[in-house]
Structures are given as structure tokens and as C-alpha cells.
Amino acid sequence: MAQPARNRGRIGSGATTRARIIGAATDLFARDGYEGTTVRAIAARCHITDPALYYHFRSKREILDAIWRNAPAEVVPVEHESSLSREGLVNDIEERFYAWTRSVALLRVLLGQVLRGDERATDFRRDLLERFRAGRLPSAQEIYGARGEIVLETVFQAVSGVLYDTVFQHGDTFQEVVNQDSFRRRLRRIIDQALPCPPFANER
């Protein structure tokens, strides 16, 4: 293994350099794929030497694992302290969608690795889904009663499908597409249809 380069090719603090490496790797994995990206390419993107990169990460695999551990906070669902109304749930799900559009490189890496059968990527995706469910199921059950779980699963699958399909279809124009007013209106309609107004609320 390459020895640490302590005086040449290192920039900023250790935490700052690690963050730069993770960010560069995310962009390159999203563009060229994990297999198609070399450690040398990641180092060059950060303007550091290969040994400087190995000072922080022992391998390309270790960098990939660090991407999951350092995912932006906004893409990790949180549990709400109080119940959400139906409108609040609609807004929350829309916000979850757009949080991922702001981390599209991470999303592309995640989808690519899941499709390749990467267990750690699959575990990361599963953890996100479990957090999403845990944080919103009480509200869904409050609104829809016994139907809450299936309603929540339906809206998750619908919105995830839109997100994944848009990533695969539009590539470099993804950001432009998802920020169009027509797209926002379509997404809102999909969420509204998956989260219907509950005429059966009294059945709870």
C-alpha cells in the first residue's frame, strides 16, 4: 500500500480533504461507474497525489463505503415529532423527492450499485426506506387508519418510480427537467392521487 504523503499534495485539514475525496468520488462514480473509476482519477480530481489519497482511504471500496456513511443529512428521512396532516404528508414527500434531486450524483451511484448487487448499497437503501416508513407511518395511520401502511407504501413506490425513471431518461438534463413547473405539477398530482383524501376517516 502506498505510504502517506505528509508534506506534498495534501490540502486543508484531514476532515476537509476526506470530504473532497468523497465528493470527487461520488461525481466520478456517477459519471463513469464504480468499476470505470480509478483511484488515480479521484486523486487527480482533488488535485492531490495518489499517496495523499491513500493517507485517508486504503482503497476505492473504502471510499465507496464512506459515501453511504456521509450522505447529506437532507436525504436521510427523519422522524417527525408530531403527527402530520394529509397536506403536511404531501408536502413532506414532495420535499423528500426534491432533496434527492439536489444529490443526483449520489442517487446515480446508489442506483448503479444496487443494480450491481452491492450489499452495502442495498443495505443503505433499505435503511433509508425503513427510516422513511418509521417517520411517516404514525401520521399515515392517524389519517388512514388500518389502511395507512399500504397507502404509505403506494406513495413511496409511485414517487420513487418517478425519480428513478427521470434519472435514467434525462441524464445531464435531469436538474432542468425536475425544476420545470410542469414537472412539479405532475409530481404533485401523483402524490395527491397516491394520498387520497380519506372519506373513510371515521372507520378508524
All cell numbers assigned to 44: 487527480
- The predicted-structure confidence for 70-90, as pLDDT tens digits, reads as follows 999 999 888 776 789 999 999
pLDDT given for residue 79 in this prediction: 72
**Over the stretch 120-144, which tens digit does the pLDDT of each residue have?**
999 999 999 999 999 999 999 999 9
- The structure's pTM equals 0.84
> Which parts of the chain sit beneath pLDDT 50?
1-11, 201-204
Q: What pLDDT, on a 0 to 100 scale, did the predictor assign at position 82?
A: 74
Q: What is the pLDDT of residue 10?
A: 44
- Spacing of C-alpha 73 from chain mean position: 10
- Give 46-109 as a DSSP string: HT--HHHHHHH-SSHHHHHHHHHHT--GGGS----SSPPPHHHHHHHHHHHHHHHHTTHHHHHH
Which among 116, 126, 129, 125 has a CA at the least distance from the CA of 29? 116
C-alpha cell at 89: 404528508
C-alpha cell at 16: 476537509
Closest CA to 190 of 201, 202, 200, 178: 178
Q: How many CA within 13 A on the CB side of residue 132?
A: 25
